[in-house]
Every structure is written in structure tokens, then in C-alpha cells.
Amino acid sequence: MFSHVPKTLKKVAGVHCSLLSFCDVMSDSGSCVLREVTLCSPVGEILLSGCEIGVHTINIKLGTDKDESVHPVGPSEMSPQLQHCVDWLQCYFMKPESVSALPLPTLHNPLMQSDSFKAHVLWTLFKEVGLGKTVSYKQLAEMIGNPKAVRAVGSAMKNNPIPLIVPCHRVLRSSGDSGSYMGGKGDDIKVWLLTHEKKALELNASKSENPSDGPQNHFTLLLSLSTTFFLIDWRNYIPL
């Protein structure tokens, strides 16, 4: 999985997610030492930052090339919480029909730790709107008990520091239109994510109708991490 780094990202049917680089930085609040990890994925490079407690930010980077001089690093260089987020994202992109069986990553962004309106909106979205589900801005406002706060909900989506994990791409206009994403620069990404999740639901439905096809909520994935191989059983983690 992490055995090579492509020169450029290609949005192809075959999903690819590779670890590119990592570094340590200080958080804006100065209270956490963050580790940054860059992944490549079907939607572009993803810059992920987190501390020992949880994930701080996710940034989908548009129009970026890969640096061939950056070598992959293994999971031992990351905190357990950051490694879990990397594993979750890999499962999301590669086996989305199974990602619901995994615990959601732990979040530790300062905004998410506050008692603000935006934090309330984002936590509600994080906990209540799972894979394949969508809500309108109005419905999300109603879910937090403030049906008139539609514009404020939109502002919270615009300032979401942890997209993908806090799924602002699942919030649509009342008309059913997908609406803008990343300030309008990532509208195609939003459509891709929603389509990706819809296919996962269809696959799960197909498996439910044909249980003989294989065990449910159970799969294995062989990952090559640097020079070490692991067999990942999403119910039991077993190093080979």
C-alpha cells in the first residue's frame, strides 16, 4: 500500500491511498505537539494532523504534485490516534462498505473542544450522519434544536477543520442539490464522495440479499507498510 509514491494523482476507478511524508509541528494553541501526515487518495493529497489525544485537522489539497524525494514511513512513527485515522481513511477509500464497523477517529481540534455553536453543529454531524446518509442544512439546524440557524449551519460547514471524518460533504441544499464544497473549488470532490458512499450502500444491500457470498462485516486486507507486512483483520489486529 505504501510501497511507492506516484508522481501525480489520477482519479481512476482503482482506489489508491499512500503515505507520503510526516513531520512534527506545534498546534496554533501551543498546547499540543502535532504530527502531520500526507496521504494521496482518489480525491487528492490529504494533509492530516493530530496529537497523542486525537485528530486536529484534515486538509484536502487541490492541484498538488507529489515529491519523489519524500520516502514512505511506517505507522510506528505516528501516535496511535493518528495511525487509527490513517487506517480509517484507507478503509473509507478502499472498503467503504466496511468502514462503519470501525470506530470513528478521536477528534481533538480546539474548535471541537469548545462550547460554541459551531462545535455543537459539527459534533452532531459527526455522531448522527453516518456513511450514506445525507441531511439538508435546514434538517441539521433542526437536529441541534435551532431550525432558524440555517445560515449559521452553513458557516459551520464552511469552517469544518476535519472534513471526511466530520462529513460536511453529506450536507445538501433543501432542493437535493449537492451544493458547494471547499468554497466551490471542490464541488467535484463532494459529488465523488457521495457517489463513492452510495456504491458502498448498494454493495452492502447486495450482500444482505445474498448472505452466501461471504461473512458480513468481516474482511482482511494485506498492507505493505514500508518493509513490514501486516494482516489487518478489522476485528482482530494480528501482526504477521
Question: What is the domain-level CATH number for residue 93?
Answer: 3.30.160.70
Cα distance between residue 96 and residue 131, in whole Å: 8
Cα separation, 234 vs 69, in Å, equals 32
What's 193's domain CATH number? 1.10.10.10
Do 78 and 132 belong to one domain? no
Same domain? 54 vs 126? no
Question: What is the Cα–Cα distance from 165 to 168, expressed in whole angstroms?
Answer: 9
Q: How many domains does the chain have?
A: 2
CA gap 60, 163 in Å, rounded: 8
Instruction: Tell whether 53 and 126 lie within a shared domain.
Output: no
49: three-class secondary structure by DSSP: strand
Q: Are residues 114 and 204 in the same domain?
A: yes
Same domain, 65 and 142: no
Domain-located, residue 115: yes
- Give yes or no: residues 95 and 114 share one domain: no
Return the pLDDT at 174.
93
Residues annotated catalytic, as ranges: 168
Residue 72 is given by DSSP the state P
Q: Compute the distance between CA of residue 211 and CA of residue 235 in angstroms, rounded to an integer.
A: 19
Taking the C-alpha atoms of residue 70 and residue 49, their distance in angstroms, rounded to an integer, is 17
CA distance 45 to 20: 9
Q: Are residues 228 and 156 in the same domain?
A: no
Q: Is residue 132 part of a domain?
A: yes
Q: What predicted TM-score, i.e. pTM, was given to this entire model?
A: 0.73
What distance in Å separates the CA atoms of residue 134 and residue 10, rounded to the nearest whole number? 27
What's the farthest any 2 CA atoms get from each other in the chain? Answer: 54
Q: Which domain holds residue 175?
A: 110-209
pLDDT for the residue numbered 42: 85
Contact between 84 and 105 (Cβ < 8 Å): yes
Burial code of 24-46, b = ≥16 C-beta within 10 A, e = fewer? eeebeeeebebbbbbbbbbbbbb
**63 and 79 Cβ atoms separated by less than 8 Å:** no
Residue 10 lies in a domain: no
In a domain, 30, yes or no: yes
- Does residue 114 sit within a domain? yes
Dihedral (Cα; 138, 144, 146, 147), 10-degree rounding? 20
Q: Which of 155, 139, 135 is closest to 147 using CA atoms?
A: 139
pLDDT in tens, the chain (240 residues): 332 333 333 333 344 455 555 555 555 656 788 888 888 888 888 889 999 999 999 999 887 543 333 323 344 467 889 889 988 998 998 889 899 999 999 999 999 989 999 999 999 999 999 998 999 999 999 999 999 999 999 999 999 999 999 999 999 999 999 999 999 999 999 999 999 999 988 887 777 766 655 544 444 443 433 333 334 343 444 444
Q: Strand pairing of 135-136 and 171-172? A: parallel
